[in-house]
Amino acid sequence: MAPTTTRVLRLLALLQDRERTGRELAERLGVTDRTLRNDIQRLRELGYPVHAQRGASGGYRLGRGTTMPPLLLDDDEAVAVAVAIGVAEDGSTGIADIADHTSRALAKLDQILPKRLQRKVSALRDATAIGPATTGSREPDTPVPAAVLTTLAGAIRDGATVLIEETARHHPRSEVEPYRLINWQRRWYLVAYSLEDHSWRAIPVARLHRTEPGERRFAARSLPDDDLVAFVMRHIAVTGWRVHARIIVLAPAETVIARINPAVGMVEAVDADTCVLHTGADALETVAIYLSMLMMDFRVDSPPELLAHIRTLARRYTEAVADAPND
């Protein structure tokens, strides 16, 4: 690559960061003011709208143009864009034709990614499954650093253990065998086998304070479920909410299962006409509304606080139709 071309690309990378003075740019590139002006003109000829501000506080900045010029990304940015496109590619965004567009964009990005970055992106995409779309939404946990996800994905790819530190456990440091990453409603979960208590877990990645690659390789175990997304959804239904409820539903288990989303709750049959629904939400009011949408007779087993919210709803519904004529 010619020195001039290399320098112009470096100039573009500097301008994409923030506005910079001419003196700062010339010093960073090791060129004269005249050479800098020539390089700025080359960028403009290539379609990059470089704006100049005169005066003591003036400088150069990259503006908006009428066409889409090539974009320069650093390593972390390239990985982040590729992963984000990959997550959107499954079509769960609700946009009808986005899958075709994202597939083409991802193919273009894959074509030019260096092998070291391709390996990271491929590992994370291959290790990730997307949870089901739901009508409700949850507030996101603390954002998960991309470095944590790539560490976990690399360990899943290599069949290597991971040392993790969890913020919400009495003995936070432990070693696990990672098997799958699940992304659901802007939250990440790691399906892993704990070598500490020899159990399968769905670990919220946002609660991992630190992750380090382990030194041991492991042979794959029999999975706790053929569908690991379903495994995580059951875990969320039972333990992943701020409020948990146990509801006796006066209907067959098969009927209730067909009615609810797997992330809403877990159903256990009692007899042919009764089942138990373990469900939850981030607030008692939300659970009460969900139960009214179930359109089946039910009894609240726990928690007692839920009864107060249901009584409030019952009073409001009753008063809303008190003066209405009977048809």
What are the residue ranges spanned by the domains of the chain?
3-62, 75-127, 146-225, 241-320
pLDDT computed for residue 76 by the predictor: 73
pLDDT in tens, 85-128: 666 655 454 445 556 666 777 776 776 677 888 888 888 878 88
Asked if residue 57 has pLDDT above 70, the reply is no
Task: Look up residue 38 and give its amino acid.
Answer: N
Residue found under tokens 């470096």: 10
Question: Using an 8 Å Cβ cutoff, are 174 and 196 in contact?
Answer: yes
Spatial strand order in the sheet of 298-302 = 265-271, 274-281, 243-249, 298-302
Query: Are 146-225 and 241-320 equal in CATH topology?
Result: no
The answer regarding whether domain 146-225 maps to CATH 1.25.40 reads no
User: What number is the average pLDDT over the span 38-51?
Assistant: 86
d(CA 315, CA 320): 8
Fold of 3-62: Arc Repressor Mutant, subunit A (1.10.10)
Quick one: tokens of 325?
A: 């004529």
pTM for this one? 0.60
Task: Look up residue 29 and give its amino acid.
Answer: L
pLDDT in tens, 211-270: 999 889 999 999 998 889 888 877 877 676 788 899 999 999 999 988 887 667 788 889
User: What number is the average pLDDT over the span 134-157?
Assistant: 74
Question: Using an 8 Å Cβ cutoff, are 191 and 182 in contact?
Answer: yes
* 231-240, 268-277, 281-290: segment of lowest average pLDDT: 231-240
pLDDT computed for residue 249 by the predictor: 96
Chosen CATH of 241-320 out of 3.40.30.10, 1.10.357.10, 3.30.70.250, 3.30.230.10: 3.30.70.250
Q: Which of 98, 143, 107 is nearest to 125 (CA)?
A: 107
d(CA 18, CA 59): 10
Quick one: tokens of 33?
A: 């003011």
Residues 6+ positions from 108 with CB-CB distance below 8 Å? none
pLDDT computed for residue 292 by the predictor: 87
